[in-house]
Amino acid sequence: MEGITKIKTEHLELFYGEVQALKDINLDIKEKEVTALIGPSGCGKSTFIKTINRMNDLIVGCRINGKVIFDDKDIYGEGMDIITLRKKIGMVFQKPNPFKMSIYDNIAYGPRIHGIKKKSELDEIVESSLRKAFIWNEVKDRLKTNALALSGGQQQRLCIARALAVDPEVVLMDEPTSALDPISTLKIEDLISELKKNYTIIIVTHNMQQGARISDKTAFFLNGEVIEYDLTDTIFMNPKNPKTEEYITGRFG
């Protein structure tokens, strides 16, 4: 496959205690593309996405073998600074999770913790991040109001803006539209297509049409394994593995 490799996994395995949740994952994710991860519930796609920014570190009893290589460095290797890693690899969660503070402070939180203090600089980051997330026009007159007062769809775009505010290279999205109504979902899909010009995006989705609409490549997960990984068009039109075909034609899942 052409393009520059941004993230590559080699024989990645993950265990929760005795249970193996990921088996020998070898994926090559290209820069400035949208990679969709599809598969039935519990197949390991969310678990996989969380290995990329090491959010699984929070889970007691979670063990990882193999490598996740990000810009030629193994993120599980020695000397990897987890703070820098998470600054470069942002994440948007399944349920919008704005902090209980103003819209402005939500966006400024990331830049502030990474040392930006100047008001003018913060103002600029807040505005540009909100613009990138297509929400500036809706909130520009009420930046001081509590973010929890926004609608679910707005909250999720705010969370995307918050992730963009620390200037990441990769954005991980874990079913970002599963808690949203169809119109908010469409807005976020449009946003993703726009964002891929500047960011590498990995998105977990339950919704196959969504995967087909917005992604360049698709990986089909089943029982902790990657069954098939290819161009999205190939996966949906002409899958090589019969299990992939069964899943995308809706025979299970």
Site for another protein, rule CB under 8 A: 53, 55, 58, 60, 83-87, 90-91, 93, 95, 97-101, 109-110, 113-114, 159, 162-163, 166
Given a contact cutoff of 8 angstroms between Cβ atoms, the answer to whether 202 and 175 are in contact is: no
Q: Tell me the one-letter amino acid at 178.
A: S
The string of DSSP codes covering 15-31 is: EETTEEEEEEE--EEET
Closer residue to another protein, CB minimum distance, 39 or 111: 111
Minimum gap (Å) between residue 66 Cβ and another protein: 22
Closer residue to another protein, CB minimum distance, 145 or 249: 145
Minimum gap (Å) between residue 163 Cβ and another protein: 7
Residues 6+ positions from 120 with CB-CB distance below 8 Å: none
Closer residue to another protein, CB minimum distance, 107 or 212: 107
In Å, what is the CA distance from 8 to each residue of 38, 50, 74, 204?
A: 18, 14, 9, 17
Given a contact cutoff of 8 angstroms between Cβ atoms, the answer to whether 179 and 94 are in contact is: yes
The string of DSSP codes covering 52-121 is: HTTGGGGSTTEEEEEEEEETTEETTSTT--HHHHHHHEEEE-SS----SSBHHHHHHHHHHHTT---HHH
Minimum gap (Å) between residue 242 Cβ and another protein: 37
Minimum gap (Å) between residue 222 Cβ and another protein: 26
Given a contact cutoff of 8 angstroms between Cβ atoms, the answer to whether 33 and 2 are in contact is: no
Closer residue to another protein, CB minimum distance, 126 or 222: 126
Closer residue to another protein, CB minimum distance, 109 or 134: 109
Closer residue to another protein, CB minimum distance, 76 or 93: 93
Minimum gap (Å) between residue 154 Cβ and another protein: 16
Minimum gap (Å) between residue 19 Cβ and another protein: 18
Report CA 149 to chain centroid distance, whole Å: 24
